[in-house]
Structure 1
Amino acid sequence: MRILVFANTPAHVHLYRHTVNRLERAGHDVLVLTREYACTTDLLEFFGMPYRVYGDHGTDAYSRLRFARELGGQLGTIVRESVRFRPDVVFGRGPYAALAGTVTRAPTVLVLDDEPGDFNHTVSRPFADCILSPAVTRRDLGPDHYTFEGFKECAYLHPDVFEPDGRIREYLGVDPEEPYVLLRFNALDALHDTDLEGFRPEQRRDLIERLSEDATVFVSDERGEMELRDSPARPYDLHPALIHDAMAEASLLVADTGTMATEAALLGTPAFRYRGTDDHEYGEFQALERAGLAEQFDAYENLRDRAIDVLGDEGVPARWQRRRQAYVGELVNLTDLLVDIATARGSLDRLSPPAKQAIRPRSQSL
């Protein structure tokens, strides 16, 4: 079989990396179509995934203007690469995957999360043969929409899949018992981030200063613009493929971005998300809050004070790990499900009995 996968962001690479590896080991031909965006191609190289680049997508205003001018050329490249590869099934999300499936007449599987409805979903939904999303998703995308108990991050962070690198503290340069915190500041440059604002510069500085009194602070700044030379914080400068290993050992993650907060929570690390100007209610975070694995804050001062309290509570690590075992261990291993869907050529009727039991029509979940 020939499986075409779209991985346009670092999160997409993680979503599909175990699936791609297992399909290749089973003798299938897999191709990942991607774009130059953040560390996406770095991750593809690190994990040895077979890929071709169809374009790029920068983070500044000029890059986005250039992207708009070059969109036609990128779509043309996608068409050529897709037709040349001749896939039996296409995986992805948004109009790129829908276009590839349409021109090759291959079944198209869209794997979504609980983001707000937007242009991408409106354009791609009519061309999808199967739409897969977490059961906490509150949107109903039609008769081809199916859900599973879990999160898209369960494809790489489910306890059956994730194996932490025991050398991560050595890589970071921290002692075995030394508490450390990861701060993740979002670039907020994606389409669904339009008009959103996360931590302000003065809040970032205050958070670093206060948390560094109780722990070593590592900063991951997506824009790469923060100056930390005179700050008590250290830049997180390991290869991006190691971020989940670093999260798993951290005492706390604080972020104004959704994906990394979800990932830390699923690893049993206290995950605090600052909403900033984002007033959308995400089903994933509500579920993680109910499980006691993540917390969201509208006011910066409340987040800061809660973070200080958690760092001072010696019982937190054990409590969060118990919560993870009780909650995450019961979720669907999404890699198993994606491999089964791929080998069934996107036909849910041909799924194995365990895979069929793992999904249900969205209309029945409402």
Structure 2
Amino acid sequence: MKIILDIGHPKDVNVFQNVISELQNRGHDIKIVTRAKENTRRIIKECGLSCEFGPYYKSMVGKAFGVIRNDIWLYNIAKRFQPDIFISPGSPYSAQVSKLLGKPHLAFIDTEIAGPAIKLMLPFTDTVYTSTSFYLDLGPKQKRFDGYYELAYLHPKYFMPKKEVPAKYGLDNDYIILRLSALSSHHDIGANGFSFKTEEELREYIEALEKYGKVIISSEVVPWKTIEDYQLKFKPSELHDILFHSKLCIGEGATMASEAAILGVPSIYVSNTRRGYLDELEEKYGLTFTISDSKVALNKAISLLKKDELKEEWQLKRQKILNEKVDVVEFMVNMIEYKKKPR
């Protein structure tokens, strides 16, 4: 079977990497396409994957006008490749082009607030796979599974943390990760996180956390010297090793908050937006917390950091997830191999 995989966010590379390997082991031919977003390009290169890069627009206006251009770009690729099926994490482009070519499209999504992309994708797709924690009802095309996409790359079957990675960067196991996000994706419209107005506010936040361990910053933007001073520059492939060995993760990124939780690391998502998977990780497993007020989030972080045997407690909670959730890679591969009849 010939498959076009259309990915978008850097997280998608991680989600689909083991899926790609398994599909290729079963004899399927896969063409990967994406937009030329710098972070995504870097991660794909580091993973050693072959990919075609299309137009990428940073502004929301550019993204809106870029739909037609991306559709044309992908249509031309598909005409040459002649795929049997399109798969994506909810790409409107692959859904629309699949409809034009009369081929099935399967979407694997987890972000409820990605409203514009869902609306542009849903009429043209065949099936949308979401976690049971996904709080939106997308109608008859939606199929749910009991798992999280992060398990496709962070389950112990696929990921074993390396002890030597933190030491490589001069870190012990007593460090705290502060994640700052650019909040520039289409699903970030109206999203607020820390909202630091001055560099002094950021420094005060860091100083409060530093009483409980070394603070390192992971940031998509570096507008202030304080961010540059605290930012840890590491290989993308070593992020999850660093995350696993950290004491706590607090930040504006939903992806990193959920990854920390899946790895058994206490995490706090500072945002006025919500994700179904983060809600379930909080309410059912007590692994993470979504807090809209940055000061309340800081107090929560401090209360956690004061706890004895914090790591051991969270690892027990993590084990509960591993015992209860499905093998997400196997699930995705099985759904993709179930080739639908052309429309």
TM-score, normalization by structure 1 = 0.86
2:151 paired with 1:119: no
For the 8 Å contact 1:133–1:152, the answer to whether it is kept is no
Corresponding residue of 2:96: 99
Q: Measured at CA, do residues 71 and 224 of structure 1 come closer, stay the same or move farther in structure 2, by a change above 3 Å? A: farther
Corresponding residue of 1:51: 51
Corresponding residue of 1:192: 187
For the 8 Å contact 1:186–1:257, the answer to whether it is kept is yes
Using the alignment, how far apart are the partners of 2:91 and 2:3 within structure 1?
Answer: 17
For the 8 Å contact 1:274–1:297, the answer to whether it is kept is yes
Q: Give the secondary structure class of the aligned counterpart of 2:269.
A: strand
2:36 paired with 1:36: yes
2:150 paired with 1:153: yes
Q: Deviations over 1:208-243 (max 9, x none)?
A: 111122211110111233323785xx2121122221
Which range is displaced more, 243-252 or 219-228? 219-228
Using the alignment, how far apart are the partners of 2:24 and 2:320 within structure 1?
Answer: 33
Using the alignment, how far apart are the partners of 2:65 and 2:103 within structure 1?
Answer: 28
Report the residue type matching 2:178 in the other structure. Answer: L
2:235 paired with 1:239: yes
Q: Measured at CA, do residues 285 and 229 of structure 1 come closer, stay the same or move farther in structure 2, by a change above 3 Å? A: closer
2:221 paired with 1:226: no
Corresponding residue of 2:215: 217
Cα distance, 1:345 vs structure 2: 2.1
TM-score, normalization by structure 2 = 0.91
Q: Which runs of 5+ in 1 are unaligned?
A: 348-366
Aligned equivalent of 2:321, options 314, 327, 338: 327
2:84 paired with 1:84: no
For the 8 Å contact 1:21–1:49, the answer to whether it is kept is no
Aligned equivalent of 1:134, options 116, 127, 131: 131
Using the alignment, how far apart are the partners of 2:95 and 2:227 within structure 1?
Answer: 46
For the 8 Å contact 1:112–1:132, the answer to whether it is kept is yes
Corresponding residue of 1:285: 278
Q: Deviations over 1:247-279 (max 9, x none)?
A: 11110000112111111111100011112xx2x
Q: Measured at CA, do residues 211 and 346 of structure 1 come closer, stay the same or move farther in structure 2, by a change above 3 Å? A: farther
Q: Which runs of 5+ in 2 are unaligned?
A: none
2:294 paired with 1:300: yes
Using the alignment, how far apart are the partners of 1:215 and 1:335 within structure 2?
Answer: 36
Q: Give the secondary structure class of the aligned counterpart of 2:129.
A: strand
Corresponding residue of 2:303: 309
For the 8 Å contact 1:181–1:250, the answer to whether it is kept is yes
Q: Give the secondary structure class of the aligned counterpart of 1:49.
A: coil
Corresponding residue of 1:163: 160
Using the alignment, how far apart are the partners of 1:230 and 1:223 within structure 2?
Answer: 9
Number of matched pairs: 336
For the 8 Å contact 2:32–2:50, the answer to whether it is kept is yes
Identical columns (%): 26
Q: Deviations over 1:295-326 (max 9, x none)?
A: 12233222212222322323100000001001
Report the residue type matching 2:282 in the other structure. Answer: E
Using the alignment, how far apart are the partners of 2:67 and 2:126 within structure 1?
Answer: 25
Q: Give the secondary structure class of the aligned counterpart of 2:225.
A: coil
Q: Give the secondary structure class of the aligned counterpart of 2:238.
A: helix
Using the alignment, how far apart are the partners of 1:174 and 1:160 within structure 2?
Answer: 26
Using the alignment, how far apart are the partners of 1:115 and 1:54 within structure 2?
Answer: 25
2:204 paired with 1:206: yes
Using the alignment, how far apart are the partners of 1:100 and 1:314 within structure 2?
Answer: 54
Using the alignment, how far apart are the partners of 1:314 and 1:12 within structure 2?
Answer: 35
Cα distance, 1:135 vs structure 2: 0.4
Calculate the aligned-residue CA RMSD, in Å.
2.0
Q: Measured at CA, do residues 321 and 283 of structure 1 come closer, stay the same or move farther in structure 2, by a change above 3 Å? A: same
Which range is displaced more, 258-267 or 65-74? 65-74
